[in-house]
Amino acid sequence: MLAGIKLGGPEFGGSDLAGLIVAVSFAAGLNLYATVATLGLLAHAGLVDLPAGLHLLTSWWVIAASGALFAIEFFADKIPAFDLIWNALHTFVRVPAAALIAYGATSQLSPEKQLMAALAGAAIALAAHGGKTAARVAVTPSPEPLSNFALSAGEDTLAVFMTWLATQHPIAAALMVAAFLAVIIVVMRWIVRAMTQALKNLFGVPENQLAPSNRRDLNAA
């Protein structure tokens, strides 16, 4: 059933289709508009033959709209503080859109498998989006805007590169995503621990920091 789906000329089996979904979902979690525009342009260039469920992405209207939105995001995503608001709002855009792309990519499969692909695409996009947002939270307090600009530009480049790699070497792209997800999990755990400790220090004074007289008063009470 999967053998009928072709990407860039040759027929791709189940593992290659899975790699495509994994990598494109990750790219959509970073920058949905760049991902959609890249897929459409690659299809028009003859570098990828998208599954029937994704033929809508080859429309010049879709490419133009996604390109215009990418241009807006290119600047909005590089403004410190505003980028946090932008990314928070796009939680409700990138994740559902990644699910729809995964669903469309598996249009020749059974509805149950399409649903599983959509859920996997949404989960991967959410992880990428969460890692991106966590990185912005860590970088935004920096007094200089260069770090925000560099981080955003790197994310844009990575989204385009991963989309291209997914259509040409889907297994390699999926392996790269697995490595990125492992890093994201480690970094997010570190950030959560750091924020938890910061909140504890902000709202409560540890006992070992109390003055001796205050500690005696607390013990007497």
Give the pLDDT score at 214: 46
d(CA 84, CA 21) in angstroms, rounded, equals: 27
Give the pLDDT score at 219: 55
Give the pLDDT score at 216: 54
pLDDT tens per residue across span 176-201: 999 999 988 887 787 777 767 766 77
Q: How many domains does the chain have?
A: 1
Give me the domain span that covers residue 93.
2-220
Give the pLDDT score at 2: 37
Give the pLDDT score at 51: 85
**Per-position DSSP letters for 28-52, written without gaps between them:** HHH-HHHHHHHHHHHHHTTS----G
Give the pLDDT score at 13: 54
SS3 content of the chain, % helix, strand, coil (to 5): 80, 0, 20
Give the pLDDT score at 65: 97
Give the pLDDT score at 143: 66
d(CA 96, CA 111) in angstroms, rounded, equals: 17
Q: Record the tokens describing residue 166, joined without a space.
A: 């997914």
| pTM score, whole prediction | 0.81
Q: Are 129 and 29 contacting, i.e. CB atoms less than 8 angstroms apart?
A: yes
Per-residue pLDDT of the chain (221 residues; tens, 9 = 90+): 333 344 444 344 578 899 999 999 999 999 999 999 999 999 998 888 888 889 999 999 999 999 999 999 999 888 888 888 998 899 999 999 999 999 999 988 999 999 999 999 999 999 999 988 888 877 777 766 688 788 889 999 999 999 999 999 999 999 999 999 998 888 778 777 776 776 677 676 454 554 455 445 545 55
